Copies of this chain bind each other. A is one copy, B any other.
Amino acid sequence: MLVSALLTSLAINSGLCILFFVLYSILRKQPSNYAVYVPRLLAEGKSKRRSHFNLERLIPSPTWLKNAWKLSEEELLSSSGLDAVVFMRLITFSLKVFSFAGIIGIFVLLPVNCTGELHIVDFTNLPNNSLDVFTISNIGNGSKRLWIHFSAVYVVTIFICYLLYYEYRYISSKRMAYFYSSKPQPHHFTILVHSIPVSVESSVSESVDRFFSEYHPSTYLSHIVIHRTNRLRSLINDAKQLYGRLTHLKSDDTQQKYHRSCCFGLCGRKVDLTDEYEKQLVDIEKNLRLEQSEVSSSGHKEARAAFVSFKSRLGAAIAFHLPQSSNPIEWVTEEAPEPDDVYWPFFSSSFMHRWISKLTVVVACITLTILFLVPVLIVQGLTNLSQLKTWFPFLESILTIKIVSQVITGYLPSLILQLFLKAVPPIMKFLSSIQGYISHSNIEKSACNKVLWFTIWNVFFATVFSGTAIYVVDIFLEPKQIPGKLAVAVPAQASFFIAYVVTTGWTSVCSELFRIIPFSFSLIKRPFTRSTDHELEVPSLPYHKDIPRILFFALLGITYFFLAPLILPFLLLYLCLGYIIYSNQFINVYAPRYESAGKFWPIVHDSIIFSLVLMHAIAVGIFTLKKLSLASSLICPLPIFTLLFNDYCRKRFL
């Protein structure tokens, strides 16, 4: 890749970013977009829909930038919870790491690379230089200059480990403070017990009561057996919907209050809608009562799980920590999730059911991760120009225009890949949801992990080895040769990943700011619906999508900082954008629905440790390749100490 190509891409993407910022600054002030850009403020009543027009609405203003910049951690903690703090600290952590690495990279490594033995930078015609002159590839075999890179690897590793330790300690203390400061709440006093063994003559409720009265006599308070109430819940939902329509109908005089009773409202006698709805409501109420009495009376709707409450937090903690039964797969206890965090489908399932679900999901997930690129490549292969012409003959005249065909052949494959990639976080979340978790926060945490490894495999390794899935798997089945193969393949993709940060990275944060998909939806829906404030649902940040993305860029930064330090300025800019934009979104858009209390940090920690070890493996390979075997041997203790450090942190912090 030439410098000029990078500059072009840089110009286009900077332009796009500025355009997004300006558009956002204007659009966010239009009352019709409030539901998209400030749903949180709207829901909290801090922002009112004003319909009067003024000129100020059309002039982009940077006040939101100032507000986002000024957001302090205390404000964030009180408004969006500990998870948001952890998320923002991930960004500031990366900023610190890459500022430090950036100083070393730009002021030390870059000059060393540029003055390397293999190519000489042509300063008179900078844009026509290859990007390779800025990378480690420019340094000849056995050169003493490589010791500078060697020292950089050591210094940066030590710096990152030092930061990781302090960050983990900080998050850990925040977690502690969160638990100390939170008021007593019902779920602190409660545990969930599942896989309750039942005998023929007694019900689940009686078993639970007998068991806990016997073994926890002084602390046991009460219990609620969980019932299978799918029908009941659907009835309640129906009733709510009908009630909403009815009140709307009664309050609003402009609506049509009659319809005809058959043939899709076209013929038959006229019916008063209000009466109709009221009659339906009465029916539903009767069904509800029936169902309720059935649920409470009959035992066959009882799930073999119960919420058990204790008189003190200590009592609940004791019951949770002590093994309850001599058979470890009966009377299994879990901490009760927050009420908003409960995920019901797995309450009734037994230990075996959960175990099998988990195994199935693990297999599905590994298969998906490894074989994901196979269907993508097939689809990309199918959607070539001539194929499109046969499928959509009416487009033929357009497709023959040169520029259209160029755009299609150029962008279609990458568009298809992006579409497939977009589908991954929801798929992973779905897989996690059938894995046996009983809380949304655990599902999200598990999905976060899955998406992270998926991204590392399918974007990093698949690009680096640019081969088929089987080939990449093959490489990992011969662990001895990994460093060598990485050393050949990774530097070759340096310019691709620099461009990747500029294009995908910058675009992704800007589209996060602009909220393209909700915005398009609202544009499409607007003519058909009359949205009211109380129907507005405030979204929560999809951590399982955004944390892996930032972690992946951190991985790129860590692995490439000594190979191609040119990646660092772009990465820093990405992180700065991220900092401002996510701060803004936390203020305006996202509200937390539940709190995992900082449980995402261990994922961040592990991922950074993995990036470090990967970087060391590449360094070992590179130094061997460059015939500096002493350096490659001296790198070897580094991954060992990094892994030991990780082990220590896991033991040291809860």
- Residues on A lying within 8 angstroms of B by beta carbon are 176, 317-318, 321-323, 326-329, 351, 355, 359, 474, 477-480, 644, 648, 651-654
- Asked if A648 meets B326 with Cβ closer than 8 Å, knowing A321-B321, A478-B477, the reply is no
Of chain B, the residue at the smallest CB distance from A325 is B654
**Contact present for A652 and B479 (CB under 8 Å):** no
Nearest first, the 9 A-B pairs at minimum CB distance are A477-B480, A321-B321, A478-B478, A321-B322, A176-B326, A318-B318, A477-B479, A329-B652, A328-B654
Contact of A478 among B318, B359, B480 (CB under 8 A): B480
Determine which residue in A321, A359, A644 has the highest number of CB atoms from chain B within 10 A of its CB, and name it: A321
Residues of B within 8 A of A648 (CB): 355
Q: How far is the CA of A438 from the CA of B326 in the complex (A)?
A: 26
Q: How far is the CA of A600 from the CA of B543 in the complex (A)?
A: 44
Interface of A is mostly: helix
Q: A317-B322, A318-B321, A478-B479 are in contact. List 17 more A-B contacts (CB 8 A).
A: A318-B318, A321-B322, A323-B654, A326-B654, A327-B652, A328-B651, A328-B652, A328-B654, A329-B651, A329-B652, A355-B648, A355-B651, A474-B480, A477-B478, A477-B479, A478-B480, A479-B479
Copies in the complex: 2
**Contact present for B326 and A322 (CB under 8 Å):** no
Contact of A359 among B328, B474, B644 (CB under 8 A): B644
Q: How far is the CA of A322 from the CA of B314 in the complex (A)?
A: 10
Residues of B within 8 A of A644 (CB): 359
Of chain B, the residue at the smallest CB distance from A321 is B321
How many Å from the CB of A288 to the closest CB on chain B? 41
Of chain B, the residue at the smallest CB distance from A318 is B318
Residues of B within 8 A of A327 (CB): 652
How many Å from the CB of A390 to the closest CB on chain B? 39
Of chain B, the residue at the smallest CB distance from A218 is B218
Residues of B within 8 A of A652 (CB): 327-329
How many Å from the CB of A215 to the closest CB on chain B? 9
Residues of B within 8 A of A351 (CB): 651
Residues of B within 8 A of A480 (CB): 474, 477-478
Residues of B within 8 A of A654 (CB): 323, 326, 328
Residues of B within 8 A of A329 (CB): 651-652
Q: How far is the CA of A317 from the CA of B355 in the complex (A)?
A: 28
Question: Please, could you name 20 A-B residue pairs with CB atoms under 8 Å apart, sorted by A?
Answer: A176-B326, A317-B322, A318-B321, A321-B321, A321-B322, A323-B654, A326-B654, A327-B652, A328-B651, A328-B652, A328-B653, A328-B654, A329-B651, A329-B652, A351-B651, A355-B648, A355-B651, A474-B480, A478-B480, A479-B479
